């Protein structure tokens, strides 16, 4: 995935001179995870700029650049470092189109690693996507594979409004997949059906697609056919695809790494209750992280939902 992200940067910078990359160590070092490796050598220091260790400055620079015709792609080294930038994101980036009644837009992409699983210190394993999804005026995107990272990042850079692009840390180097560097973007605001099934719908996103697909393999052996939906765009939610699947299967399990309380899964469950209640044959189940700070080091994998927890939730929808 990390190579696919670098590839998408390169394509868009090659074909659009207004695209610039800024962030801590994105130039000479190619980013903390090497997602911008080689870009400064190809496009120069004017277009790939290392910034001070100041997230509010990075976000503020992005707003200024975007409102004057550039398309900044800003990297925040870890999601836990995003909080100083929220002032600029909430008060300026997300409001620019509304504030100027459409005279200005703010085509910013803020990329940041998302989630745990690499035994990093505090602030390095955050899954606080719900906070971002509650901000009107921005999109929130979280890819689950190299192919989707490439296509969705291209779409995010081309979008005229701000996009928060959350990159699952566990997937940076977890798999290899052939990615055609052809500049073909994937659509934003839609789900992707990763696997069709008829007995239960499982909605997930980001790194949790790995555990979900492993769980589905085991469920197959037990005679349960699961349809797996990758949410991909967390805000706005493509509820139509989810409702169509639930109408077919009658059961819904939502899997996410973020804390359970007021998570994106709760919003999906509420939307299904409002618009698809009579299609449900059992209560909606959520499999999520716990309502705590990500526990450091040895307990990290106990926090992240396991294959067994997903299987148990699916089987619970068939109980009684």
Spatial CA neighbour of 271 closest among 258, 289, 294, 254: 254
16 and 164 assigned to the same domain: yes
- DSSP, residue by residue, 188-222: SS--EEEE--SSEEEEE-TTHHHHHHHHHHHHHHT
With H, G, I as helix, E, B as strand and everything else as coil, classify residue 166: strand
**Does residue 147 share a domain with residue 233?**
no
**Which secondary structure element, helix H or strand E, spans residue 111, and what is its range?**
strand 109-114
Contact 257, 304 (CB under 8 A): yes
Q: Are residues 136 and 237 in the same domain?
A: no
Whether residue 41 is found in the same domain as residue 131? yes
Range of the domain at 55: 2-171
| Total count of domains within the chain | 2
Catalytic residue among 124, 134, 256, 275: 124
Give catalytic status of residue 275 as yes or no. no
37 domain-assigned:
yes
pLDDT of amino acid 10 = 98
In a domain, 116, yes or no: yes
273's tokens:
């209750």
Q: Are 212 and 228 in contact (CB under 8 A)?
A: yes
- Low-confidence residues of the chain: pLDDT under 50: none
User: How far, CA to CA in Å, does 295 sit from each of 125, 150, 209, 215, 255?
Assistant: 9, 31, 21, 24, 19
With H, G, I as helix, E, B as strand and everything else as coil, classify residue 158.
Answer: helix
pLDDT score recorded for residue 320: 61
Region of 206 (left: φ > 0; alpha: ψ -120 to 50; beta: rest) is left
Rounded-to-integer distance, Cα 244 and Cα 230, Å = 14
Whether the Cβ atoms of residue 135 and residue 111 lie closer than 8 Å to each other: no
Assess whether 275 and 245 both reside in one domain: yes
Q: Kindly report the pTM of this predicted structure.
A: 0.97
How open is the CA angle 236-241-244, to the nearest 5 degrees?
140
Are 90 and 164 in the same domain? yes
DSSP 243: H
**Do 27 and 170 touch, CB atoms closer than 8 A?**
no
Q: What are phi and psi for residue 279, nearest 5 degrees?
A: -85, -15
Give the domain CATH number at 80.
3.40.50.970
Whether 162 and 233 map to the same domain: the answer is no
pLDDT tens column, 258-310? 999 999 999 999 999 999 999 999 999 999 999 998 887 778 889 999 999 99
Same domain, 131 and 212: no
């Amino acid at each position: 995935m990390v190579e696919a992200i670098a590839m998408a940067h390169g394509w868009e910078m090659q074909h659009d001179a207004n695209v610039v990359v800024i962030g801590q160590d994105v130039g000479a070092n190619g980013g903390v995870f090497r997602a911008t490796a080689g870009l400064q050598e190809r496009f120069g220091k004017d277009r790939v700029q290392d910034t001070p260790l100041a997230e509010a400055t990075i976000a503020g620079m992005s707003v200024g650049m975007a409102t004057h015709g550039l398309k900044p792609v800003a990297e925040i080294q870890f999601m836990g470092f995003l909080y100083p930038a929220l002032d600029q994101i909430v008060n300026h980036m997300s409001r620019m189109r509304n504030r100027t009644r459409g005279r200005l837009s703010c085509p910013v992409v803020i990329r940041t690693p998302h989630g745990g699983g690499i035994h990093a210190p505090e602030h390095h394993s955050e899954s606080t996507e719900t906070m971002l999804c509650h901000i009107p005026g921005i999109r929130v995107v979280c890819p689950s594979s190299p192919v989707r990272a490439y296509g969705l990042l291209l779409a995010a850079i081309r979008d005229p409004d701000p996009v928060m692009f959350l990159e699952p840390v566990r997937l940076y180097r977890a798999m290899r997949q052939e990615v055609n560097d052809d500049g073909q973007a994937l659509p934003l605001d839609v789900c992707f059906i990763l696997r069709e099934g008829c007995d239960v719908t499982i909605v997930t996103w980001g790194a949790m697609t790995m555990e979900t697909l492993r769980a589905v393999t085991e469920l197959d052996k037990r005679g349960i056919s699961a349809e797996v939906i990758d949410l991909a765009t967390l805000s706005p939610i493509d509820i139509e695809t989810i409702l169509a699947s639930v109408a077919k299967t009658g059961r819904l399990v939502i899997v996410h790494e973020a804390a359970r309380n007021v998570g994106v899964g709760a919003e999906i469950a509420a939307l299904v209750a409002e618009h698809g209640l009579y299609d449900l044959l059992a209560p909606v189940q959520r499999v999520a992280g716990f309502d705590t700070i990500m526990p450091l080091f040895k307990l990290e994998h106990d926090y992240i939902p396991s294959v067994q927890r997903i299987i148990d939730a699916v089987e619970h929808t068939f109980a009684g």
